[in-house]
Amino acid sequence: MSIFTGAGVALITPMHEDGSINYPEMERIVNDQIAGGTDAIIICGTTGEAATMTIEEHVETIRACVEMTKKRVPVVAGTGSNCTRTAIELSKDAQNAGADGLLVVSPYYNKATQNGLKKHFTEVAKNVDLPIVLYNIKGRTGVNIEPKTIADLVHDVDNIVAVKEASGDISQVAEILYRCQGDVDVYSGNDDQIVPIVALGGKGVISVLSHVAPKDTHDMVMKLIEGDVKGAYELQLKYIPLIKALFSEVNPIPVKAAMNMMGYQTGSLRMPLTEMEDAHKEVLRQAMKDVGIKVTD
């Protein structure tokens, strides 16, 4: 029940200067991503600033992305919340809007137990028919989804089929794959760990880097899957300085700055996020130039 193999872009949400969502520019970015080789669009995730969207904006952005994509690649909608009822309603709305899958982050701030996580994800899953990607990112949520918990969910709930692993712990990724015995698709949540995770048996990445290098991010995954180990790790290492620059401030601050440097109109960030510091911006600009990305001076 794989949703996609390769590189899915964790899409930014471009804004007008007044903070409203710039749908024409979003369509331009979606089209460029698909033309560049991106394998899926992940909408309304962390990178998409979903945390500062109203429910109405969240649902409309998912619906708009589905319409823009026109079934050329899968659309995976972020529908997680620290409130189980809200996550259920968002998930239903995303299904009605035409999403192909859901990305559901573990509840943040509440700091649920592992049993609480199981109940939360199970309740969300049983209210929709779409395949679900669990999103494990302790650095933002305060709680790790343990490998045993992931394995229990994958084996007990038919439509929980994947995990976006952003713990940064390669040993944990290995344990997830061992415990699930081929029944889960693992996507790297960190662009600097694409090759190690795919080498362990992962399906690909949900990527920030794809915004600025969609073809190479796709190729990094597919080269390894197809047996070109050298080609894959050379791409991984080539982009390490740029990946570091893209996370020199809180995501999505740097990637929005990078997209503006490439000529896109991504607009402002919603508070409490602020514009990138000039010193970090110069490092980012140089890192982009060093890998051959055309940027404005």
Is 164 annotated in the active site?
yes
Please report how many Cα atoms fall inside a 13 Å half-sphere around the Cα of residue 240, on the Cβ side: 8
Tally of CB atoms within 10 A around 282: 12
Q: Which candidate in 118, 135, 264, 281 is catalytic?
A: 135
Is 135 annotated in the active site?
yes
CA distance 83 to 9: 26
287-295 long-range contacts (CB < 8 A, ≥24 apart) are 287/241, 287/242, 287/244, 287/245, 288/212, 288/242, 288/245, 288/258, 288/261, 288/262, 290/241, 290/242, 291/213, 291/238, 291/239, 291/242, 293/212, 293/213, 293/262, 294/262, 295/258, 295/261, 295/262
Q: Which candidate in 70, 92, 108, 164 is catalytic?
A: 164
Q: Which amino acid type is present at position 49?
A: E
DSSP state of 108: P
Residues labelled as active-site residues:
135, 164
